[in-house]
Structure 1
């Protein structure tokens, strides 16, 4: 089976990981720095290696994300792509986890709320916000069983 994984590029992934831990409550953070031996492959000198990140993994809202330094190869995010954390609202543990994530970030000065996380006219729950790196997050909950029945 083919999978698609969110893989984010930051100027400074080490700093971004700290931000996502502090503000979003990211867990299971693993960071692989560039080694001194690899520095030249990434266009760095040996003194820059330890602070550079060639690969990282972390979990937000039960979803695993990946990241690495951009090494000068990316521009600013423009909102054309969003990361959507989608969950079944009938799953109490998932619903609590996503609500706790929103409650944690909603009042942080680095978060721009576009749509407050609340009940929507279609019967689900949704919220949209952008973080300090320009990453646009969508939180979306729906009753999967009810939705499946509607599409039969």
Structure 2
């Protein structure tokens, strides 16, 4: 199990992560644009195709992750509150348990489900306003 800080931006994610890389070093593990999504993904608004859908910067043993917002794909962007906590559980059972508990008196943005990137994933805001992503890479039989 692990926790990762996940930052959101309004069109300047790539610039911010290039800056963080210049500050901390490290290497990009993943950098995907909204245009890289599969056809079944909802259409991205014109002009948002090159925004960052997901980026991971590895610095030593740490990961910093982020994305840009896009119409219909993320909650409203608020500068200063533009972060989530990404929880990577050891199993689907642990993922479902954490998601259910975090959902009580909170709001679900995305139910736990299979994703095109191969994870079992969901998003929820807990009753304290903290945004969570649950991202389990375990196969369905796990």
Task: Settle same-fold status: TM greater than 0.5.
Answer: no
Structure with the larger RCO, 1 or 2 (CA within 8 Å, 6+ apart) = 2
TM-score with structure 2 setting the length:
0.42
TM-score with structure 1 setting the length:
0.40
